[in-house]
Structure 1
Amino acid sequence: MRVPHTRGELSAAVIRAFREPGSPFPTVRVDDPWRDADLQLALWICYELHYRGFDEVDPDLADDLDLLAFRRQLEQPWHEALRDLVPHRSTTHERVPEALAELVAADDGPPLASFLQRGATLEQFREFVVQRSIYHLKEADPHSLAIPRLEGQAKAAIIEIQADEYGGGRLSDMHSELFRATMRALDLDDRYGHFIDQASGETLAVNNLISFFGLHHRWTPALLGHLAAFEMTSSLPNRRYGNGLRRLGFDQAATRFYDEHVEADAVHEQIAAHDLCGSYARQHPTAAADIVFGAACALAVEANFGHHLLQRWQAPPASLAS
């Protein structure tokens, strides 16, 4: 994948470090970490070094101490903003599955899925898919970072979930490959990371949250809570996304990604809440609040993403899906 275009001094500093090792980094000052596209892109580039990396960028830079120190500076204001928006909720380890269910039941995020089902134009649906491609083309990889840190029932549970995400070892059934089929049906380039320059700050924040939890051992419980929130809120929106594509005249090849999630995530919901998060909380009672925090953060960044798209479409500038 090519290196993205810069969006300000923070992302420019990270890219400059690829080409000029030892170059200085700026002081990190941002007013709105959730939406600051420069901050979020700088973080995304740092994180991507731990996934597939970039063309003509030394893979060893993933372990560069100066770059890691700057990444920590980038993470600090965003983490503080998450703490302000989603304060830790006190809960006991016995109540973690119930606390997750209550959190999901109380979620009143924007009606993005309903709009895509009933009223979105083809161009708006294409734009939604472009934004989602930043995650779905590497679907499951960030959550898989938790696997070596788990044991017992929690480990078995996450492997059961992730095995489905990876198609049970069948390339054609991998969820990332199903999403590629959706992109091709919509006449979109399905190369990994192709649309990173079109990704909004809100889209990058959705992706960066998973990597933030996944790349820090300390935030493993939050990563599990994040996965649980993903699975517990997925079935109904994906049913609506598939119906939206059918309304626009697309066939099963285009909708299979969404249709697959309707059935799979209905099963994953129970596994994630009880077998994964519940068993992990029993093994690590002090981690209960962090599990719920991770789930609450997942819901918050998704709501922010949905509000952003709906607001764009109320008074849309030029489409991002090009």
Structure 2
Amino acid sequence: MTSADLPLRTALPRGRGPISRSILSAYATGQRGDVFRTERVAAADPLGEDVQLALHLCYELHYQGLQDVDAEWEWDPDLLHIRGMLERLFLKKLRECVAGGDDVTAVLLVEPVGVVSRHLLDHGEWWQMREYFVHQSIYHHKETDPHAWVIPRLRGTVKAAMVAVQFDQFGAGHPDQARTRRYADLMTSARLSSGYLAYLDEVPACMLATVNMMSMFGLHGRFRGALIGHFAAAEATTASSALRLVQALQRWESSPECSLFFTTPQQPMRDTVIGDLLAREPGLAGDLVFGVQATELLERRFADHVLGCWRAGRTSLRSGRADPDRQGGVSVPAGKDYR
């Protein structure tokens, strides 16, 4: 079975707390039960496992959907009410943790650190690279899908530039060259599952939060500036991190499919997109700054978690399953070369 043949809909994961478990129960049974007990949301940790999985379960209905979950849930008003409460909780926490302001030039001049890619290049082991692939699969299975939602909300050059980016990301008319397909090929080459969100149960809240933020910004027109800020922050980091990852993969003599994903050229559109957006809507400067800062905040939290685990000699994934050939990491068939 090739990556293109794998089912797109995600099997329901395990719950991580009362909110996510109640949503999963509602999806599975069709009965709301106590899923809409709003006091649970108010008391929850905005960046914790329960809230982030609950948000992901709500957002996934707008993407490929969830296996055996009725499509009617996508626009269920009561579920949207709970999702809105979770979003406000998440958004409030993000705003509390960043400096804010409207100086776009200043935030864009900050050099991205890319600490995980630096670690993988300088000190990393192969099992750690494979864990990194697992974490990033939650993002790369969607890639720029959330950015597509902003296109109808833009005009002029910024709209044309975002369409050009999307065209490249989706393979420029060639499905086998789409970023999502190439990441699936990377996963297969690393002897990992290439199925859509196959590792949802394994990935912690700090990774889910980065994707949930994109979904939240993309689904709400009022956050279009913040989503462009995320786009700008991600583009600033991509090239340097990709180079370091390629160099690390070369050190391990990994298969060409692993490196191919990171060597595919992408159009640099950040300055074009930001310049035209602010020329048309200067009032979005503060939102754009917020998008950049929130992206950097969540990336730092993810890096702190991953590097903290690796430096302690343990897996950064939730299950803690051991790699049969090395301590930590995700399992592979015993006795086989998985590079």
The CA RMSD over aligned residues, in Å, is 1.6
Q: Aligned partners of 2:204 and 2:43: how far apart in 1? A: 16
Q: Using the alignment, how far apart are the partners of 1:167 and 1:204 within structure 2?
A: 25
Please tell me whether the aligned partners of residues 45 and 51 of structure 2 are also in contact (alpha carbons under 8 angstroms).
no
Contact 2:114 2:237 (8 Å CA) reproduced: no
1:269-284 maps to which residues of 2 (within 5 A)?
271-272=269-270, 274-284=271-281
Contact 1:198-1:320 within 8 A present in 2 as well: no
Preserved contact between residue 153 and residue 279 of structure 1 (Cα < 8 Å)? yes
Distance 1:250 1:320, change over 3 A: closer
Contact 1:47–1:211 (Cα < 8 Å) also in 2: yes
Post-superposition Cα deviations, 1:130-150, rounded to whole Å, max 9, x if no partner, equal: 011011012111111111111
**Structure 1 segment 1-322 matched on structure 2, within 5 A:** 1-18=10-27, 19-24=29-34, 25-26=36-37, 27=39, 28-30=41-43, 32-34=45-47, 36-91=48-103, 96=104, 98-102=105-109, 104-105=110-111, 107=112, 109=113, 111-260=115-264, 263-264=265-266, 267-268=267-268, 271-272=269-270, 274-315=271-312, 316-317=314-315, 318=320, 319=328, 321-322=330-331
Q: Counterpart amino acid of 1:254?
A: C
| CA 1:198–1:30: 2 relative to 1, 3 Å | farther
Deviation at 1:88, TM superposition (A): 2.2
For 2:143 and 2:302, the matched residues in 1 are separated by: 18
Question: 2:118 and 2:202 mapped to 1: Cα distance?
Answer: 24
**3-state SS of the aligned residue for 1:233?**
helix
Alignment gaps of 5+ in structure 2: 1-9, 321-327, 332-339
Further displaced range: 113-122 or 210-219: 113-122
What is the rounded CA distance, in whole Å, between the counterparts of 1:164 and 1:57 in structure 2? Answer: 32
Aligned length: 306
Q: Deviations for 1:29-53, whole angstroms, at most 9, x for unmatched residues?
A: 456422x111100000100010011
TM-score norm. by structure 2 comes to: 0.86
Structure 1 position 252, deviation (Å): 2.0
| TM-score (normalised: structure 1) | 0.91
Letter in 1 for 2:25: R
1:17–1:67 contact (8 Å) kept in structure 2: no
Match of 1:115, as an amino acid?
Answer: H
Shift of residue 277, structure 1, vs aligned partner: 1.7
Q: CA deviation at 1:118?
A: 2.4
Identity %: 33
Distance between the aligned counterparts of 1:126 and 1:194, measured in 2?
Answer: 14
Q: Which amino acid aligns with 2:76?
A: D
Aligned partners of 1:219, 1:88: CA distance in 2, in Å?
15
Distance of 1:133 and 1:142 partners within structure 2 = 15
Helix, strand or coil: the match of 2:172?
helix
The residue that corresponds to 2:337 in the other structure is none
- Structure with the larger helix share: 1
SS of 1:53's equivalent in the other structure is: coil
Amino acid at match of 2:96: D
- Partner Cα distance (1:218, 1:155) in 2: 16
2:53–2:208 CA contact under 8 A, matched in 1: yes
The structure-2 alpha-carbon separation of the partners of 1:247 and 1:30, relative to structure 1 and needing over 3 Å to count, comes to farther
Aligned equivalents of 1:80, 1:257: Cα separation in 2: 35
Gaps in structure 1 of 5+ consecutive residues: none
Which has the bigger relative contact order, CA under 8 A and spacing at least 6?
1
